[in-house]
Amino acid sequence: MEQQSPAQEVTVGNARILIGDSRDVLALLDSESVQCCVTSPPYWGLRDYEHPAQLGAEESPKQYVENLVGIFREVRRVLRPTGTFWLNVGDGYARNGGVGVCGPNAKVGNTKRLIQKRNCRVPDCWGLKDRDLFGLPWRVAFALQEDGWILRSKITWVKKTPMPESVRNRPSSATEEIFLFAKEPGYYYDNQAVRERSGANLRNYWILSSNTGGGSHPAVFPHELARRCILLGSRPGDIVLDPFAGSGTTGIVAVELRRKAILVELNEAYARESEERLRKGVQERLWA
């Protein structure tokens, strides 16, 4: 196989940042080297991450699902047999006319850098009709299941401060899905690491606040989301991977929790943002 190399690599303490396309970069990682993968890929047709190779800008949501399955197949290869994969992925609506790539195109709240094409059409797949909810999280989950992953849990992330939506003919959306996948049935899961306040086993709905004071990245997920997945799915010293790292939340939380991190990000500006956040942590001795 032809050896590819990521555009650039930066190491900050226990974190490696690989700047490039996950489709190329993951192939460079050793098989069975990673314990836990926590990630949130671009949602289909929503935000513009300003790179020609970005995921989420495919003409069809079917192609998007196929692309994700291919990337996560590589994630399965690099996971240890006891490894877990935590996937946060969002949904959207099919639309005729208006803006968006016929995707989740509501122009709402303070979303920025939206993918916008005028006069979009409902994609010709899955029997979709104007205003149909795609059900993308489950379509991705079923496709991954079919590809070999064991689907172990669907966790509902309940947003404390959801983005306002200007809709009048359906309830406003205030939740997202997080799926827990395992590579093999005997996977590592530390059920003592995160518990309910009562001491009971953690439930599959997580009420989480957004982070405040973030950088320039438009879609940062909550630190607490990453913290829970990493604590449940890994031990100190393990490697945690995020193939769509954005501003590096997964890596920063992983290093805070004494894990090692591998972050892959296509857009150099966001990769530099995570580098800066990680360096700040090292300088301020947030972790030693």
Ligand X SMILES: C[S@@+](CC[C@H](N)C(=O)[O-])C[C@H]1O[C@@H](n2cnc3c(N)ncnc32)[C@H](O)[C@@H]1O
Residues that bind ligand X (CB under 6 A): 21-23, 40-42, 49, 53-55, 217, 219-221, 244, 246-247, 249, 264-267, 270
Q: Which is nearer to ligand X, 35 or 274 (CB)?
A: 274
Residue 249's Cα: distance from chain center in Å? 10
Smallest separation (angstroms) from ligand X to the CB of 39:
7
Smallest separation (angstroms) from ligand X to the CB of 201:
26
Contact 13, 282 (CB under 8 A): yes
* Integer angstrom CA distances of residue 208 from 138, 153, 220, 256: 21, 18, 13, 19
Q: Which is nearer to ligand X, 24 or 132 (CB)?
A: 24
Smallest separation (angstroms) from ligand X to the CB of 42:
5
How many whole angstroms separate alpha carbon 54 and alpha carbon 188?
32
Q: Which is nearer to ligand X, 132 or 211 (CB)?
A: 211
Task: Identify which of 140, 229, 227 has the alpha carbon closest to the alpha carbon of residue 189.
Answer: 229
Which residue is at the shortest CB distance from ligand X? 246
How many whole angstroms separate alpha carbon 115 and alpha carbon 164?
19
* Integer angstrom CA distances of residue 202 from 39, 101, 153, 254: 20, 37, 12, 20
Smallest separation (angstroms) from ligand X to the CB of 18:
9
Where does 104-222 have alpha helices with state H? Answer: 136-146
Give the residues across from 159 on adjacent strands.
208
Q: Which is nearer to ligand X, 44 or 128 (CB)?
A: 44
Smallest separation (angstroms) from ligand X to the CB of 224:
12
Q: Which is nearer to ligand X, 55 or 257 (CB)?
A: 55
